[in-house]
């Protein structure tokens, strides 16, 4: 089943480039967007099992202990803001 999705993209040049890329790949722009969404959803919502993690990641897992009241998303946002906007 297909569902229609309307996207608003301000940069007309990127739309043109992506249409050309899709044509070169013999794919539709909709197919490219759908596959991008799938890859984001997979990396965001599917948790890897320990045996699927690279060895270095396994060795570091659990090594950082944070207090329970730390909002890591907010802390990350502040860090990125300081790094790139100041």
25-84 pLDDT, tens digit per residue, is 999 999 999 999 988 887 777 766 666 778 888 888 878 777 788 888 888 888 888 888
Residue 66 buriedness (CB in 10 A; 0-12 / 13-18 / 19+): exposed
**Per-residue pLDDT band at 8 (split at 50, 70, 90):** very high
pTM over 0.85: no
Q: Evaluate if residue 19 carries a pLDDT over 70.
A: yes
- What is the model's pLDDT at position 48? 60
- 37/26 Cα distance (integer angstroms): 19
- 8/50 Cα distance (integer angstroms): 39
The overall longest dimension of the chain from CA atoms, in Å, is 51
């Amino acid at each position: 089943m297909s569902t229609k999705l309307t996207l608003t993209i301000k940069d007309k040049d990127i739309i043109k480039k992506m249409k050309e890329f899709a044509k070169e790949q013999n794919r539709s722009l909709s197919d490219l967007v759908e596959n991008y969404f799938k890859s984001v959803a997979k990396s965001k919502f599917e948790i890897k099992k320990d045996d699927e993690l690279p060895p270095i990641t396994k060795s570091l897992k659990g090594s950082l202990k944070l207090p329970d009241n730390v909002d890591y998303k907010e802390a990350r946002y502040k860090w990125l803001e300081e790094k790139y906007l100041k």
